[in-house]
Amino acid sequence: QLHQQQQRQQRHRPMQEEVAVAVERLKTAMGRRTCVCILGGEITDANTEAIVAALARKLGELCDDNVAFVSNGLRGVQTVFAQNLGSGATRLWHLAHSSSEIELPKVGDVIRAGDTFEQQKKILASLGEVYVTVAGGQGVANEARIAHANRALIVPLARTGGASAGGSVFPIEALVRPLWAPEDDWKLLSDTSANVDVYADVVARIVLAGVSEACRHVQTKPAGKAVARPHHSAYDNDAAWEARDKELDAIQETMRDIHQENRDLRDHVAILERRLVAFHAESTGSLVTQPSTQ
The vertex-214 CA angle with 198 and 54, nearest 5°, equals 25
> Sorting pLDDT into bands at 50, 70 and 90, what band is 247?
low
Cβ(207)–Cβ(132) below 8 Å: yes
pLDDT, position 239: 56
**Can you tell me the distance from the alpha carbon of 182 to that of 206, in angstroms, rounded to the nearest whole number?**
8
CA gap 41, 161 in Å, rounded: 12
More confident residue, 64 or 274: 64
Inform me whether the pLDDT recorded for 23 exceeds 90: yes
Contact 27, 220 (CB under 8 A): no
Distance from C-alpha of 235 to C-alpha of 281, rounded to nearest angstrom: 63
86: pLDDT strictly greater than 80: yes
Question: For the packed helices 117-127 and 138-149, what is the interaxial angle rounded to 10 degrees?
Answer: 50
Phi, psi of 199 (to 5 degrees): -60, -45
- 90-141, pLDDT tens digit by residue? 999 999 998 888 777 788 999 999 999 999 999 999 999 999 999 999 999 9
Sheet of 34-40, strand order: 109-112, 92-96, 67-71, 34-40, 130-134, 153-157
* Angle, alpha carbons 204-175-197 (nearest 5°): 25
> What is the model's pTM?
0.70
pLDDT for position 215 = 87
Q: Torsion-angle region of residue 2: left (phi > 0), alpha (psi -120 to 50) or beta?
A: alpha
DSSP state of 152: -
Indicate the DSSP class of residue 45.
S
